[in-house]
Amino acid sequence: MFTVEQIHAAHSKVRSGADFPAYIRDLKKLGVTSYETFISDGHTDYYGVDDYKISSPAKYVVMAIADDYDKDQFVANLKAHQQGKTDYATFIKDSAAGGVEKWVVVMDKMTCTYFDKTGKEILAELIPG
């Protein structure tokens, strides 16, 4: 099974949202079937076959997630990040301010879905090949 260290090695190659598809391909090779990233503290829960689960530690001090989300602003911030115009820290701050609590990536569907604090789906995207 995969380790947090292997995942961190794959993540070390990511410089912007433009690198996300390659990162997902690397995780799939490791055996990750899905993961959830929580914006409030940056920890991620990674899942594999046979109920395998590991969690990364928190990456930063807990930040507040806005109660309401602005889908149009979030989509604009996401697109900017995916185009390499913002770094990860900026994307996280923008997402928290925009009411995004977490995202969930499902490898076999190649989707990334963003959720608010109530669990409502804000946006689902297909991850490019």
**pLDDT per residue over 19-34, tens digit each?**
778 888 999 999 999 9
pLDDT of residue 16: 67
Neighbour order of strands in the sheet with 44-47: 53-55, 44-47, 34-38, 102-106, 111-115, 121-126
**pLDDT per residue over 60-111, tens digit each?**
999 999 999 888 999 999 999 888 888 888 999 999 999 999 999 999 999 9
pLDDT of residue 17: 67
Query: What are the tokens at 121?
Result: 């789906």
- What is the pLDDT averaged over residues 106-117? 94
**pLDDT per residue over 33-62, tens digit each?**
999 999 999 999 999 999 999 999 999 999
What are the structural domains, with CATH classification, of the chain?
Answer: 4-126 (3.30.1810.10)
Q: Residue 113: pLDDT above 90?
A: yes
> Which residues on neighbouring strands pair with residue 57, listed in sequence order?
none
This model's pTM is above 0.75: yes
DSSP 18: G
Instruction: Give the DSSP H or E segment for 36.
Output: strand 34-38
**Residue in the structure block whose two tokens are 């990750």:** 32
pLDDT of residue 21: 84
